[in-house]
Structure 1
Amino acid sequence: MKIKKIELFAVNLPLIQPFIISYATYPNIQSIIVKMTTECGLVGWGESVPDEHITGETPHSAYAMLKNTLAPLMIGQNPMEFEKIHELMDQSVHRAPAAKAAIDMACFDVTGKKLNVPVYQLLGGRYHEKFPVTHVLSIEEPEKMANEAEEKVKEGYTSFKMKVGRDVMGDVKRIRAVRERVGEDIAIRVDVNQGWGNSANTLQALRHLEKLGIDWLEQPVAQDDIDAMVEIKSKSTVPLMIDEGIRDMNNMREIIAKRAADKVNIKLMKCGGIYPAVKLATMAEMAGIECQIGSMVESSIGSAAGFHVAFSKKIIKSVELTGPVKFSKDIGDLKDSYIIPHIQLNERPGLGVSIDETVLTELTQYSDSIE
């Protein structure tokens, strides 16, 4: 099986409401969709959702990287040779993980279809039957976040990821308001997205948070300040998760060596796709560090790819892939698998996502074809 053609689509995915985190507000999500066609007529789909603050790529730069470098490199290659595919990409360009992730996903999708198995069967088989769906609360005033949380509990949600990172004491008020509103039995995870900057600010916040029963605190400090994570972890009883600070195997080695986190948040856009994500999960398991598969708010394609990794690995204990339920219009049908408060994957071949190419055309800003 050889790759014959790769088509690129730059799309705007419309959000139901703006997504607000510590460093940015997103009115919609800019994504690059890859359609990979083989000589035997099979089609694989991939997705790239870059973030200049994390992956070092913009939507325009990732699109250009795919169009001018990575896609031409793939023509004539066998998409089933995952190790070789990644070696070719890595030898051609340093980093660019979100661009590489789109190629990686399309290769896994088309390989699963060729072998007539779901992608998770290519990764060791299905381990988990279902995962709880976590609702993500964007940064708002305490009362508004509490109101939204209360409404989502009525819909059946049992866990929340709270986005904070604007100011320490204001964030403490936000977290306290949600906890008081939803009660003690609902899981709350707090994601600072680097917003508290350093260990001193974080430890100040933790003096209040330790009484609120949060599941874990995620990436409170600057992404490259591993030593600050070490200090925080040594001085707090709240489990600490690293997100922006874990991008590749080099980061993982340092985190393991320094015992810098209790949990790691693996995202396909940060590490380069399904194949590198599995490697990171294996490294974490060897060190006894629990994993989560997180999201850059991808469509059904990128979200499904993350779920296949999560469902195949015992060490992955949670998922936060909520893009399909945040969009007012999506190009795929993964939303049907969200049966609140759980998600359960189907058993269709490849990524298991049906693509509506009419919607894809409607959302496309520009496109290219490489043969």
Structure 2
Amino acid sequence: MKIKSIEINCIELPLIEPFIVSYATYPNMPSIIVKMTTECGLVGWGEAVPDEHVTGETLEGTYAVLQHTLAPALIGENPMNFEQLHQMMDNLIYSAPAAKAAIDIACFDVTGKKLQVPAYQLTGGRYHKKFPITHVLSIAEPQAMADEAARRVEMGYRSFKMKVGRDVASDVARIKAVRERVGDEIAIRVDVNQGWVNSSTTMQALRELEKIGLDWLEQPVRADDIDGMVEIKEKTTIPMMIDEGVRGVCEMREIIAKRAADKVNIKLMKSGGIYPAMKLAHMAEMAGIECQIGSMVESSVGSAAGFHVAFSKKVFTSVELTGPLKFSKDIGNLHYDVPFIELTEKPGLGVDVDEVVLAELTTIKCVVN
């Protein structure tokens, strides 16, 4: 099996409502969808959702890297040779993880279809039966976040990830408002997205939050401040999760050596796809660190890829892949049985892409062959 052509589509996924985090507000979610076709006629789908604050890539730059650097070099290669393909891509360009993830995901999809097995059979086989879905609360006023949480509890959700990171006082008010509204039985995870900047500011917040009963606090300090995470972890009983601070093997090695986190949030867009994400999971497992699969608010394609990784490893104890639930229109048909997700036995990613919708959402397109 050889790669015959790679089609690259830059799209705008329409959000039901704006997605707001500490560093940006997204009215719609830009994404790049890759269609990989082999000489035997099989098609694999991949996705890149770059973010300047997380992956260090822009949408325009990622599109250019795919069009001019990665895709041309991979024509004629066997998509089943994951290790070799990643080495080729690494030799061509340093970093660029979201661009590489798009290629990687498409390779796993088309390989699964070739072998007639789900992608999770290529990464260890099925371990988890299902995962509960955590609803993500965008930054808003405390009362608005509490009201939305209450509505979601009525829909069956039992856990929330709260986006904060504006300032300590207002963030603490947001967290307290949600906890008071939903009660003590609902799980609350808080994601600061680097918004509290350093350990001293974070400790101000934690003095107010110690008794609220948080599942964990995620990335309160700047991504490269591993020592700051070490200091915070030593001074609080709230479990600490690193997200933006872990991208590849180098960061994971430092986190393990310094015992800088209780949990790590592995994202395919940060690590470069399914294959390198599994390497990070193996490292974390050997160090006794729990993992979560997170996302950059991806379509059914990228979200399904993340789920296949999470379902195949026991070290993954939570998932945060809710992009398709946030879109008014999606290119794929990943199915959620809220508040759970259960994968099918369909080969590859198990996602059918509606190419009519894809064409409708596409703003620019090219084909490399």
What is the percentage of aligned positions where both structures have the same residue?
73
How far the C-alpha of 1:242 sits from its partner, in A, is: 0.2
What does the per-residue CA deviation read over 1:292-312, in whole Å, with 9 as the maximum and x for residues that have no partner?
000100000000000000000
Map Cα deviations across residues 27-82 of structure 1 (whole Å, 9 max, x no partner).
Answer: 01110000000000000000000001111111100000000000001100000000
Offset at residue 2 of structure 1 (A): 0.3
CA distance in 1, matches of 2:206, 2:16: 32
Which residue identity is paired with 2:339?
A: P
Match of 1:190 in 2: 190
Are 2:51 and 1:51 equivalent residues in the alignment?
yes
Q: Deviations over 1:141-170 (max 9, x none)?
A: 000000000000000100000000000011
Q: What is residue 345 of structure 1 aligned with on the other side?
A: 343
1:224 corresponds to: 224
In the other structure, the counterpart of 1:29 is 29
Query: Distance between the aligned counterparts of 1:262 and 1:271, measured in 2?
Result: 19
- 2:241 aligns with 241
Can you list the C-alpha shifts for 1:180-207, whole angstroms capped at 9, x where unaligned? 0000000000000000011011111111
Could you report, residue by residue, the CA deviation over 1:66-107 in whole angstroms, capped at 9, with x for unpaired residues?
000000011000000000000000000000000000000000
Query: Does 2:131 match 1:122?
Result: no
Give the Cα separation in 2 of the matches to 1:54 and 1:105. 19
- SS of 1:360's equivalent in the other structure is helix
TM-score normalised according to structure 2 size? 1.00
- Matching of residues 1-371 of structure 1 within 5 Å: 1-334=1-334, 336=335, 338-371=336-369
Report the Cα distance in structure 2 between the residues aligned to 1:357 and 1:346, rounded to whole angstroms: 21
User: Deviating runs (4+, > 3 A) in structure 1?
Assistant: none
* Matched residue type, 1:310: A
Look up the equivalent residue of 1:349 and give its one-letter code: P
The code of the aligned residue for 1:353 comes to V
By how many angstroms is 1:340 displaced? 1.3
Shift of 1:4: 0.3
Cα distance in structure 2, aligned partners of 1:124 and 1:266:
17
The secondary structure found in structure 1 opposite 2:349 is coil
Q: Unaligned stretches of 5+ in structure 1?
A: none
- 1:169 is paired with a residue of what secondary structure? helix
> Could you tell me how far 1:208 is from its partner in structure 2?
1.1
SS of the residue 2:114 aligns to: helix
**Residue deviations 1:305-338 (CA, integer Å, cap 9, x gap):** 000000000000000000000000000000x2x1
* Matches of 1:307 and 1:263, distance apart in 2: 18
Corresponding pairs, count: 369
Structure 2: which 5+ residue stretches go unaligned? Answer: none
Q: Give the match's secondary structure for 1:250.
A: helix
Measure the CA separation in 2 of the matches of 1:74 and 1:259. Answer: 38
Deviation, 1:175, is 0.2
CA distance in 1 between counterparts of 2:25 and 2:4 reads 38
Deviation (angstroms), 1:260 = 0.2
Using the TM superposition, give the Cα deviation of residue 341 of structure 1 relative to its aligned residue in structure 2, in angstroms.
1.3
**SS of residue matched to 1:17:** strand
Q: Which letter does structure 1 place at the counterpart of 2:147? A: N
Once residues 267 and 289 of structure 1 are traced to their aligned partners in structure 2, the CA distance between those partners, rounded to angstroms, is: 16
Amino acid at match of 1:361: A
Using the size of structure 1 for normalisation, the TM-score is 0.99
> 2 CA distance for matches of 1:258 and 1:308?
30
1:255-281 CA-to-partner distances (Å, cap 9, x unmatched) read 000000000000000010000000000
Name the CA distance, whole Å, in 2 between partners of 1:55 and 1:171.
Answer: 25
Measured in 1, the distance between the counterparts of 2:254 and 2:105 equals 27
> Matched residue of 1:303: which SS?
helix
| Aligned mates of 2:272, 2:2 — CA distance in 1 | 21
Cα displacement string for residues 194-243 of structure 1 (whole angstroms, at most 9, x for unaligned residues): 00011011111111111100100000000000000000000000000000
Which one-letter code corresponds to 1:363 in the other structure?
Answer: L
CA drift at 1:173: 0.5
Distance in 1 of aligned mates of 2:113 and 2:201? 50
